[in-house]
Amino acid sequence: METAAAKKDIRKLSLDQLKEAFVAQGEKAFRAKQVYEWLWKKSAVSFQDMTNLSKPLREWLDNHFEIRALSVADEQISSDGTIKSGFKMADGNVVEGVLIPTPKRMTACISSQVGCSLSCKFCATGTLARLRNLDTAEIYDQVVAITKQAENNYQQPLTNIVYMGMGEPLMNYKGLLESVEKITSPEGLGMSPKRITVSTAGIARYIKKLADDDVRFNLALSLHAANDEKRSEIMPINDSNSLDALAEALKYFLTKTKNSITYEYIIFKDFNDSLLDAKELVKFCRRVPAKVNIIEYNPIDDGKFEKAPEERVDAFASHVEKAGIQVNIRRSRGKDIDAACGQLANKNDAVKK
């Protein structure tokens, strides 16, 4: 009998590879399609759940393969109904994901990496070492788990997914695109790609690659400052991906895909909340049209920044809106459980840089 360590992770196999394995075993190729459906459409976590397969076939699968599903290691519920989960993976690493319930939406905020390498100065995840990328199944499993939370706690289906948790999605390009495919395809969860938004700190060459790969999801750029000096101060990645380079890449993305672009702008007291900052943001929006989400800052341990006063935020938003740009002010959700934007850091099990 083979040991568990020798078993293959079945979700790393394509449908064609599964068919080859089944035919080599003397099984009909259509059995592979049944298993594939159990894995990606029905989200099965055990071969014994695959009730339309014979018992000997299930035993063969058990002996040769495994489903390395993540588990919910801990769960916290905020006073506003936001649910933050620590998801434990087969290798023991933990990432965080969040369910954000509102009257009109049930949004899953999911992670793409264990830690992050970008070191943005305002983000708790940026203080962690990047250990590895998540694989397709690990990203997919977060969506499945958060969907269950929405249904069990709010009797509502999941409506939206944002890749805005731990990590930079474009630095896990393969995992990003493959997970979106599993989440959106009819053979998977069947969610519309228009309900998915991928947030990036801004890597120009990958933004162009998204356009060339004809993606159908929406893109959000973590902008936070519309001049290079300020942006580089809080986001080191700007040194190699200037606003000019990003504007060119975003224009290319918009022209090729016609997908929606949003600029995320976390507003900090006395750093990027002045009228001049608002004028610079308007100027950048005129280069590449987009919606703007102004996000209130959520303080982190050892953070150097403070939340901008509400009246200052409102004046900033008003100036941008008067320029004809669509603006939303995003108030924090889940702040009391460190589930708000920029606060995900696995405090119980963090590896600092």
pLDDT at site 332? 62
Q: Which pLDDT does position 266 carry in this prediction?
A: 94
pLDDT of 3 reads: 47
| Topology (CATH level 3) of domain 71-337 | TIM Barrel (3.20.20)
6: CB partners within 8 A, 6+ apart: none
Q: What per-residue confidence (pLDDT) applies to 1?
A: 42
Helix, strand and coil percent figures for the chain, each rounded to 5: 40, 20, 40
According to the model, what pLDDT value does residue 278 have? 98
pLDDT of residue 308: 92
Angle between helices 243-257 and 204-212 (to 10 degrees): 10
Q: Which residues of the chain have pLDDT under 70?
A: 1-5, 125-127, 129, 300-303, 332-353
d(CA 90, CA 134): 11
pLDDT of residue 118: 81
Within the chain, what is the greatest distance between any pair of CA atoms? 71
Distance CA 38, CA 52 (A): 10
**Confidence at residue 117, expressed as pLDDT on a 0 to 100 scale:** 77
At 192 the pLDDT is 98
Q: How far apart are CA 339 and CA 344, in angstroms?
A: 6
CATH of domain 4-66: 1.10.150.530
Q: CA 140, CA 134: separation in Å to the nearest integer? A: 10
CB 196 within 8 A of CB 160: yes
Order of strands across the sheet with 261-267? 71-77, 83-88, 94-101, 106-109, 160-163, 196-200, 218-222, 261-267, 291-296, 327-330
151 residue type, one letter: E
With 0-12 / 13-18 / 19 or more C-beta atoms within 10 angstroms meaning exposed / middle / buried, residue 121 is: middle
- The residue among 41, 42, 46 whose CA lies nearest residue 59 is 46
Instruction: Choose the catalytic residue: 96, 138, 168, 264.
Output: 96
**Cβ pair 325, 285 in contact under 8 A:** yes
Indicate the domain borders of the chain: 4-66, 71-337
Neighbours of 301 (CB within 10 A): 10
Q: How far apart are the first and last CA of the chain?
A: 42
Q: Which of 109, 116, 285, 341 is catalytic?
A: 341
**Annotated catalytic residue 96:** yes
C-alpha to C-alpha distance for 319 and 88, rounded to whole angstroms: 44
Using CA atoms, how far apart are residues 194 and 131, in angstroms rounded to an integer?
30
In whole angstroms, how far apart are CA 344 and each of 69, 78, 216, 298, 302?
21, 14, 27, 11, 14
Residue 168 a catalytic site member: no
Amino acid at 196: I
Specify whether the CB–CB gap between 169 and 198 falls below 8 A.
Answer: yes
Q: Buried (b) or exposed (e) across 227-245, using 16+ Cβ within 10 A?
A: beebbbebbbbbeebebeb
Helix pair 310-322, 275-287: axis angle to 10 deg: 40
What's the Cα-to-Cα distance from 109 to each of 3, 154, 198, 298, rounded to whole Å?
Answer: 36, 17, 10, 16
Which residues make beta-bridge pairs with 106? 101
Q: 4-66 and 71-337: same fold?
A: no
Q: Is the whole model's pTM more than 0.85, yes or no?
A: yes
List residues bridging with 50 in a β-sheet: none
43: left (phi over 0), alpha (psi -120 to 50) or beta: left
